[in-house]
Amino acid sequence: MANKLIKYINFEIKGDDRGSLISIEQNSNIPFEIKRNYYIFNTLPGVKRGCHAHKKLKQLLITVSGKCDILLDNGIIQETAVLNSPNKGLLIEEMIWREMFNFTKDCVLLVLANDYYSEHDYIRNYHEFLILTKKNQ
């Protein structure tokens, strides 16, 4: 069955005999303007991160090193994406609950976001998230 929530973007690897390079350009090979980048690393074994949704924020997640899994939930269905390659991005748009887990020790998770950090955009309570998704249906 086709995935409904998991939206991967495969990036072209510009390779030569020195190694590999990937270029990401806003509104070109990703579908939004980039206003912020951050990266998550040194995640301890067994840790789960995320566990929230965003009201408006769009983000692209890439494991530039290592691997992690990401549970996506739109209030109706849940799917688990695997990020394990620097040429594979996962697009997560607004109103999707996400939980990141199974981080390998070497995992560096790079996130490109279409807006600046704002705690007001977070929904950190799953019950509240479900109520808001039902209102939007």
**Catalytic residue set:** 52
CB 74 within 8 A of CB 95: yes
The one among 6, 29, 34, 50 contacting ligand T46 by CB under 6 A: 50
Amino acid at 82: V
Q: Is 39 in the site for ligand T46 (CB under 6 A)?
A: no
Restricting to residues 64-103, which ones interact with ligand T46 according to CB under 6 A?
A: 98
CA distance 41 to 52: 19
CA distance 39 to 56: 20
What sign results for the dihedral spanned by CA atoms 37, 68, 78, 99?
A: negative
Q: Which stretch binds ligand T46 (CB under 6 A): 8-16, 33-41, 71-79, 83-91?
A: 33-41
The one among 49, 85, 104, 132 contacting ligand T46 by CB under 6 A: 49
Could you list the residues that contact ligand T46 (CB under 6 A)?
Answer: 36, 38, 40, 49-50, 59, 61, 98, 111, 117
